[in-house]
Amino acid sequence: MKLRSRLAVFGIYLLTAIMPAGAQAAPANMLVHIHPQEYTHAIKLWHYYFDYWFEQGPVVEPLALSMLSGAYGDVQMCSPGSEGRALLWIKPRMYYNPQMRVFYGEITATAFNNKGEELASYLGEASKAGFLDILPGKQVQTVYEMAMQDLLTKMREDQRLKALADSGESSADAAVVCAGFASHARPSTMDLNYFFKRIK
């Protein structure tokens, strides 16, 4: 029995090794990059008596993949060995105005071809009234979903991006470009935009 099991395992390995390249997964229409630090470095939404800390990556990634797939077909996260036609670097931001009790969400998406040449940049925005101490995670997810919908509305207006995702050249270079994005500094979460939203 042991010999048969070993022969079976060897046979599967051999078939996998000689499988033609055409049998591999097809290139994605779009590859998505979110900076690695968005998964490990939490941001703080501030209130006078209550703060809420969370990592943006785990919240935004499933929303982005689901909603982008509805518009562009096969959409995947960047990973080693990825092949794709269009690349999209997503940069989320979230603010909270404690005086107005309003959440503000922003998602910036910069599109590139698989050689790393920038095509365009788009901004999705949303706001929602809510209390920071009542289901803050749900509030954050809802605002990001609204911002993602606004972003998609603007992206759909750009026929160049649709053409690139539908029929652009695919290349394994996409994985190298994605790795280059990860080497950049994490987008700042503190800027004048944040300051003005806080005092509105």
Q: Residues 93-151: pLDDT tens digits?
A: 999 999 999 999 999 999 999 889 999 999 999 999 999 999 999 999 999 999 999 99
Residue 182 lies in a domain: yes
- 31 contacts 86 by C-beta, under 8 angstroms: yes
Q: What is the pLDDT averaged over residues 79-101? A: 93
**Per-residue pLDDT at 179:** 81
pLDDT for 5 beyond 90? no
Q: Which residue would you say has higher pLDDT here, 108 or 173?
A: 108
In this structure, is residue 155 part of a structural domain?
yes
Say what percent of the chain tops pLDDT 70: 79
Q: What is the pLDDT of residues 54-71, one digit of tens each?
A: 999 999 999 999 999 999
Higher-confidence residue of 190 and 124: namely 124
Sheet holding 28-34, edge to edge: 75-77, 28-34, 84-97, 102-113, 118-129
Q: How confident is the model at residue 171 (pLDDT cuts 50, 70, 90)?
A: confident
Domain-embedded: residue 75: yes
Domain holding 84, by residue range, is 28-199
CATH number at 115 reads 3.30.160
Question: Would you say residue 169 has pLDDT above 70?
Answer: yes
Query: Would residue 170 count as lying in a domain?
Result: yes
Give the whole-angstrom CA distance, residue 91 versus residue 147. Answer: 12
- The answer to whether the predicted template modeling score (pTM) of the entire model surpasses 0.85 is no
Q: Is residue 15 part of a domain?
A: no
Residue 13 lies in a domain: no
- Pick the range with the lowest mean pLDDT from 2-6, 132-136, 174-178: 2-6
Residue 17 lies in a domain: no
How far apart are alpha carbons 156 and 160 in whole angstroms? 9
Q: What does the pLDDT read at residue 172?
A: 74
* Closest C-alpha to 78, from 20, 128, 145, 33: 33
Number of domains in the chain: 1
Is it the case that residue 13 has pLDDT exceeding 60? no
In a domain, 163, yes or no: yes
